[in-house]
Amino acid sequence: MGLSSIDASTVVASSSSPSTLDPNGISAAALKRTNKTHVPSACVNCKRAHLACDVSRPCKRCVALGKVDTCIDIKHKKRGRPKLKDKKTYPYSTYATADAKTHLPLNLLYNRHNL
């Protein structure tokens, strides 16, 4: 058969010819990528334009555009689940803890015309 005469290294080399692989199997293009520096918050102008901002204030983009006076950090929206608020005290809470014999039942409390 013709397939048995081809060794495994020829098959691997022909399938990976468009991009060069290092011995670990990672492409050379992936190794050349530079990591972007993380900016905790973008200024108002860069955020509005959906463009990259740098850490310095005024940022380089605002200096180049002449928007130095409006180059301020934007406040982030709060994310995630909101915290639980304190339990509100209702006027009915004293009825549950007090002696039930001294107070009227709730149905009589709201229906005053039945008394």
Q: Quick one: pLDDT band at residue 52, thresholds 50, 70, 90?
A: very high
Average model confidence (pLDDT) for the chain? Answer: 72
Fold for 35-76, please state it. CD2-Gal4 (4.10.240)
**pLDDT (mean) for 97-114:** 60
**pLDDT (mean) for 90-109:** 58
Domain spans of the chain? 35-76
**pLDDT (mean) for 55-79:** 92
pLDDT reported for residue 19? 54
pLDDT reported for residue 35? 78
Cα distance between residue 54 and residue 34, in whole Å: 16
Provide the CB-side half-sphere exposure for 94 (13 A, CA): 4
pLDDT reported for residue 85? 82
pLDDT reported for residue 39? 81
Q: What angle do CA 23, 29, 30 make, to 5 degrees?
A: 75
**pLDDT (mean) for 79-86:** 86
